[in-house]
Structure 1
Amino acid sequence: MSYTFLYQSNLRNFSVELEKLNAATDEINKLELELDESTKTFHLLLAETSRRLQALSKRLGSCVDKSRPYYDAGAAAAAARADCQKAAVQFQRASGECCSRSVVVEFMSLVKELHRCSQKSAVQFQRASGE
Structure 2
Amino acid sequence: MAAQSAPKVVLKSTTKMSLNERFTNMLKNKQPMPVNIRASMQQQQQLASARNRRLAQQMENRPSVQAALKLKQKSLKQRLGKSNIGRGALARPVLTKEQLDNQLDAYMSKTKGHLDAELDAYMAQTDPETND
Choose between structure 1 and 2 for higher RCO, CA contacts under 8 A separated by at least 6 residues.
1
Q: Which has the larger radius of gyration?
A: 2
Q: TM-score, normalised by structure 2?
A: 0.30
- Per the normalisation by structure 1, the TM-score is 0.30
